[in-house]
Structure 1
Amino acid sequence: MTMTRSLEVRTITASEFPDWTRALDTGFLRPPVTSDQVLAYRLASTDLDRTWGAFDHGRCVATFRSLAQELTVPGGAVLSADGISNVTVSPTHRRRGLLSRLMAADLAVAKERGDAVATLISAEYPIYGRYGFGPATWTTEWTVDVTRAGLDPRWAGPDRGGRIDLVDIADVPELGAEFHDRFRVLQPGAINRDERWWQRSTGRAPTDLPRTEPFHAAYRSAAGEVEGLVSYTADSVWGDGKQPMNTASVRWLTAVTPAAERALWHFVCSIDWITTVRSGYRAPDDLLPQLLPDPRAARILTQADFLWVRILDTVRALEARSYAGPGALVLEIHDGAGLAGGRFRLDASPAGATCTPTTDAPGLALDVRELGTLYLGDESVARLVALGTVTEERPGAAAVADALFRTPRRPWCPDTF
């Protein structure tokens, strides 16, 4: 057996990228053969200084990549984040500490670079808590039986002067990028969409996998401003009696006003021949079920954790977000990696916050992973106290923390990365 000390962990070179891609595809159980066209495209959009590999006698056996990211926090501030993706360990090299070494190396660089947080979307729940990540947003997917939803079958479009237009796929990147920059500052948990995201979303990115081109539609207000966008695909299924049984699958739907959100859902559910709508991954408190005359027509398919957050700079992170009301709290943060731990006093108000190291007695004691879980305002501190993952050192501190941290609507990350 190859000993752990013979395994080299480092960033990769351009010449090693095909081998790194093979290891990545192997880890994700995808065919480990990639065309030259796809390899060239991936390499051109990859920052090799943030692309890590583990090598055993020159062969890549583990992969890890991070990307520059912007995360919206409660109040609309945008924080620089270390977005972590493409994490794999080949099945021949499991349980040798490779992920721990890759994670430690990347987080150290991210901390030095000045990223306030790190983020990822976890394929497996048990892995990332030990590295200080906590699930900060959740996601829900519904399927809607349109025939039972009770929507007006004569619906011809939105009222109040709004309208819905189909958008040619060539126009989506420019239109969508401007709209998404307006949307994401309104939605805690949202991240930026780079050029590669738009290329993948509109089919301009080469791929070796089968692909179905989506339809796109925009909701425009009476003033003509885009207030919502939807991307969806549809299948072609007909029953024995020549009755349509088609499903529309929403890839993404975002809106900056409730009117736009309601209109786009009504639009998707009113498309001729569509009898079922799959919502795609939505916020758990999405408007979709309750905007239907019969919410029971919507059935939950998936409900799970989504965006995980790891605090790298406690002071910057806590000072960046807004808080529901005035209050003060002393937090004892434990961080085994030594990146964000310490005792801090948070003085918060709707107008802003200060966070400073202190020697005052703590009100709450928690691991940095629980701080990540609480950071975007989705989780209840009192619930974590009941679960035993947060310790209330001073009576009433959990109630103070909940009053400060919780947000009126649940945070949501619309995108994978």
Structure 2
Amino acid sequence: MIDVRAVDAVHEAEFADWQRAMSTGFLLAPVLSANQLADRRRYFDQDRLLGAFDGDRCVATFRSFAQEVTAVGGALVPSNAISNVTVSPTHRRQGLLTRMMSRDLTAAHERGDVLATLIAAEYPIYGRYGFGPAASMTEWTVDVLRAGLDPHWSGPADGGRIDLVDGADVRKLGPELFERYRRSLPGAVSRDTLWWQLNTGVLDLGYRPWTEPYHAVYRSAAGQVEGLVTYDADGAWSGKHPDSTAVVRSLIATTVAAQRALWHFLCSIDRVTKVRSGRRGPDDLLPLLLPDPRAARITGHGDWLWVRILDVVRALEARTYGGEGVLVLEVVDGAGTAGGRYRLEVSPEGASCVPTRAQSADLTLGAAELATVWLGDESLQRLAALGRVQEEREGAARKADALLRPSGRPYCPDMF
């Protein structure tokens, strides 16, 4: 019998074995150095590691940690973030993920988390646990020579300035900037101190060799830090001509001026002929900031942040809506606690959601479909056309879309 249980992280051999199993599942080097193990011990919440053990050997891994997700309107919603989910190739199709997921989601609900979140490595896995893809990402590659930008650009024309900084500066300036940034971005998730240490090379978890990137900040004419970009460059040549690609690891900006300046900066670096944007929101301004938007070619697009609703009332009351109205939703959740009928009343002043049996439903949908529309990126009319949402009243999906869908699309800048 395979035992699914909490990992005794204090026991060094068991913690190392869990890490070996996780690395094996992700096809990473299964042996870690003592320093890498020590950094993982600092980075991981040791009270929320689960493992499946066949005898003394760990054969499946699961980790969760505390997180906040920005709802439509800017509220920060407590969430249970899930990561490092693996099952060893010798123990697939034995229900180990289901056992770990059920245990973790039960604990999250009992803690009072409103949501659970994850980044799905494979699309078909998580829908059966009530998760739905709630925010997507897009990647662009900019042909700098076609973009039409001023080749003699030497800095922002708005009185702002761009400065190169190092990792220590990023750890100082980045957290406060990101706090302002994430409150305006539905789908953004929180970053703690350890995140900034990991992404500036202070921590080494052994996932990939660390290479020191470049960092640049944009300051407004008033001296306020409004943007930060981290990027690499490959130094490539084509024949006798420099042909380098700048690859963005992260770009955050609280103003359009900062976005414009940082993208122009990247496209103006000597020897750079292409800029790869990294993961961006699907409605990012990048193409429209170029005189020739066609110079930005989409080179990647797909689902990104997946959400699972654990508390329907708090999830629907946390966000804002695009008008006034009442919806009654019948939520079907065979694998959790979201099931039931809910009356949602919304207005510019706020939202009220209560369980009800006094009214019949306008729409019937599964927990995964509710999660998919919670951030407003998907249309209930589309889901109804696909047979994934049932209209109990004609026109209810159109009415719901008018309330649920915001003017901009959600986006999660982070991998976790």
TM-score (norm 2): 0.97
Q: Match of 2:169, SS? A: helix
Q: Match of 1:317, SS? A: helix
Residue 66 (structure 1) aligned to one of 64, 67, 74: 64
1:391 aligned partner, one-letter code: Q
Matches within 5 A, 1:166-181: 166-181=164-179
Shift of 1:239: 2.1
Between the aligned partners of 1:286 and 1:67, the Cα distance in structure 2 is: 29
Shift of 1:127: 0.2
Matches within 5 A, 1:24-39: 24-39=22-37
The answer (yes or no) to whether the contact 2:204–2:210 under 8 Å persists in 1 is: no
Shift of 1:207: 4.5
The answer (yes or no) to whether the contact 2:115–2:308 under 8 Å persists in 1 is: yes
2:217 maps to which residue? 218
Between the aligned partners of 1:377 and 1:240, the Cα distance in structure 2 is: 48
2:267 maps to which residue? 269
Residue 299 (structure 1) aligned to one of 297, 300, 304: 297
Aligned residues: 411
2:5 aligned partner, one-letter code: R
Structure 1: runs of 5 or more not aligned: 1-5
Between the aligned partners of 2:348 and 2:64, the Cα distance in structure 1 is: 33
Between the aligned partners of 1:351 and 1:158, the Cα distance in structure 2 is: 40
The answer (yes or no) to whether the contact 1:233–1:250 under 8 Å persists in 2 is: yes
Between the aligned partners of 1:405 and 1:250, the Cα distance in structure 2 is: 32
The answer (yes or no) to whether the contact 2:62–2:86 under 8 Å persists in 1 is: yes
1:363 maps to which residue? 362
The answer (yes or no) to whether the contact 2:71–2:318 under 8 Å persists in 1 is: yes
Residue 346 (structure 1) aligned to one of 341, 344, 347: 344
The answer (yes or no) to whether the contact 2:343–2:353 under 8 Å persists in 1 is: yes
Shift of 1:206: 2.2
Deviations 1:90-142 (A, max 9, x none): 00000000000000000000000000000000000000000000000000111
1:70 aligned partner, one-letter code: E
2:407 maps to which residue? 408
- Percent of aligned pairs with the same residue? 63
Deviations 1:295-332 (A, max 9, x none): 11111111000000000000000000001111110000
Is 1:279 matched up with 2:277? yes
Residue 13 (structure 1) aligned to one of 8, 12, 17: 8
The answer (yes or no) to whether the contact 1:38–1:206 under 8 Å persists in 2 is: yes
1:284 aligned partner, one-letter code: P
1:164 maps to which residue? 162
1:409 aligned partner, one-letter code: G
1:213 aligned partner, one-letter code: E
392-401 vs 95-104, which deviates more?
Answer: 392-401
Shift of 1:167: 1.5
Between the aligned partners of 2:277 and 2:298, the Cα distance in structure 1 is: 10
Deviations 1:265-286 (A, max 9, x none): 1111111110010000000111
1:334 maps to which residue? 332
1:23 maps to which residue? 21
Deviations 1:341-376 (A, max 9, x none): 100000011210000011111000000000000000
Between the aligned partners of 2:282 and 2:79, the Cα distance in structure 1 is: 24
64-73 vs 155-164, which deviates more?
Answer: 155-164
The answer (yes or no) to whether the contact 1:55–1:62 under 8 Å persists in 2 is: yes
Q: Match of 1:306, SS? A: strand
The answer (yes or no) to whether the contact 1:140–1:281 under 8 Å persists in 2 is: yes
When the two chains are superposed, the root-mean-square deviation of aligned CA atoms in Å is 0.9
342-351 vs 293-302, which deviates more?
Answer: 293-302
Shift of 1:238: 1.4
Deviations 1:49-107 (A, max 9, x none): 21100000111000000010000000100000000000000000000000000000000
Between the aligned partners of 1:67 and 1:318, the Cα distance in structure 2 is: 22
2:226 aligned partner, one-letter code: E
Is 1:125 matched up with 2:123? yes
Q: Match of 1:259, SS? A: helix
203-212 vs 105-114, which deviates more?
Answer: 203-212
Between the aligned partners of 2:160 and 2:347, the Cα distance in structure 1 is: 37
257-266 vs 114-123, which deviates more?
Answer: 257-266
Between the aligned partners of 1:386 and 1:174, the Cα distance in structure 2 is: 49
Q: Match of 2:242, SS? A: coil
The answer (yes or no) to whether the contact 1:11–1:48 under 8 Å persists in 2 is: no
1:3 maps to which residue? none
Between the aligned partners of 2:18 and 2:316, the Cα distance in structure 1 is: 37
